[in-house]
Amino acid sequence: MRPAILAIVITIQAQSAGLHIIEGPAVERATGASAIIRWVTENPGGTDLHYAVVHYGTGPGHLGQTARSPNRRNKSHASMVFRVRMDGLKPATTYYYWVESEQATGTPDGVRSPVSQFSTPD
């Protein structure tokens, strides 16, 4: 039974190995109370509905808050744009974040950004 489990893990890793963030993530817009984070990946395949996910917080080691947004995949496009709106932010505060995306089934696309930061205006 072990060889079958190992084969499944190798297959999943091979499918997601070619997917990369090709632009961003970056703050598209920020106010004192909200921000929109945007990034682009190669077309992830899978389900037509994907979720953009931002993990964030006020310290690089404290990223316990999550914002999610549904995004539709266009099968004919080579890339996919993800956007997430984060609400309930505090003015004049530095936030740290990292992004990922997942299919409608909850299966991760295999893409994860490094931690970045931005500050909300006064």
Q: What is the pTM of this model?
A: 0.83
pLDDT of the chain along its 122 residues, tens only? 444 443 333 333 334 446 899 999 999 999 999 999 999 999 999 999 999 999 999 999 999 999 999 999 999 999 999 999 999 999 999 999 999 999 999 999 999 999 999 999 99
Q: Element (H or E) spanning 6, and its range?
A: helix 2-16
Predicted pLDDT of residue 4:
40
Query: Which residues span the domain enclosing 113?
Result: 2-119
CATH of the domain at 6: 2.60.40.10
Q: Which residue has the tokens 């266009």?
A: 74
Predicted pLDDT of residue 19:
84
Which DSSP state fits 62? B
Q: How many independent structural domains does the chain possess?
A: 1
b vs e for 43-75, b when ≥16 Cβ sit within 10 Å of the residue's Cβ? Answer: ebebeeebbbbbbbeeeeeebeeebebebebee
